[in-house]
Amino acid sequence: MNVLKESNFSFKGQMSLYHGKVRDVFAFEDGLLMIASDRISAFDVILPEAIPCKGQVLNQIAEKFLKATSDIVPNWLLATPDPNASYGIKCVTFPVEMVVRGYLAGHAWREYKSGKRVVCGVSLPDGLKENDKLPSPILTPTTKAHQGHDEDISREEILSKGIVAEEKYVQLEKYSLALFQRGTEIAATQGLILVDTKYEFGENKDIIYLIDEIHTPDSSRYFYNDIYLENQAKDLPQKQLSKEFVREWLIANGFQGKEGQKVPEMTPEKCKEISVRYIELFEKVTGEKFVPANNIDIYKRIEENVNRFLKNRN
């Protein structure tokens, strides 16, 4: 199956092209086109092999949850001209990512395990173990780096450095917690626990919009509800629907994105395994059957669909 590793299209009216870790962003005078590639990143490093169907999974989950949360906060999405592509409102991005955590997992657990009891300015109690539910969801924002690693940052630092004005940051906090609550409710209907996630926001004409993706396996972590309590009681690992299994595989093979480390070989079998896990998450979190798009010539398909959309839009 063909994969979309990098999109270097040249569309009519296109003003610029930016390659993110996973998405390629095409700017037009009155909007943005985001194409979700099949690239995969971990520890802020783009891994050498692409994952079949990954971009479609991300794009279609994001579309579903943007629509399901539009009553909480306006979002950037206007249309999805292709299974891998979304078109929407062009915004000035706030330079922070709003990470909401309901459980002690992933990066927060690694920090806690190392002895830290304050994460992004938030104090955590002693005596917690991996994957424990937190007393209430917490916000642990990060800086948004165009290159290199995103860095943890506290609310106090964001405000004192003027990274985001206080009035707007307070609104970002409210939106983030409300979105997490909605995501938690939707996940519960599918027998899942929304463990943690990140949200990004932008601004257009003084209106704050939710942008990028939401509640996807790249931005979120899910546990299975039916075995959560039993696994915690027995100190067993939680079965996850997230990208964490990729990080764990990399860590086990000596890679955490640090200088001098080498990404382990990504065999066709490993790429297929990762693809299957992404599709499993799509079906489990949406309750819908995943239908792969025609990927015989994925580049031609996207180009034709986007050109048709742009022509009809004008």
Residue type for 310, please? L
Cβ–Cβ < 8 Å for 112, 104: yes
User: Hey, what are 26's tokens?
Assistant: 């095409």
User: Hey, what are 34's tokens?
Assistant: 């985001």
Spatial separation of the C-alpha atoms in residues 70 and 168, rounded to whole Å = 19
Q: Which pLDDT score, from 0 to 100, does residue 239 have?
A: 86
Percentage above 90 pLDDT, the chain = 84
User: Hey, what are 89's tokens?
Assistant: 């409102």
Helix axes 54-68, 268-286, angle to 10 degrees: 20
116-172 pLDDT tens trace:
999 888 999 999 999 999 999 999 999 976 555 578 999 999 999 999 999 999 999
Other C-beta atoms lying within 10 Å of the C-beta of residue 129: 11
The contacts of residue 167 (CB under 8 Å, 6+ apart) are none
219-273 pLDDT tens trace:
999 999 999 999 999 999 998 888 888 988 999 999 999 999 999 999 999 999 9
Cβ–Cβ < 8 Å for 99, 139: yes
Spatial separation of the C-alpha atoms in residues 32 and 51, rounded to whole Å = 24
Q: What is the pTM of this model?
A: 0.90
Name all domains of the chain by residue range, CATH numbers in brackets: 93-242 (3.30.470.20)
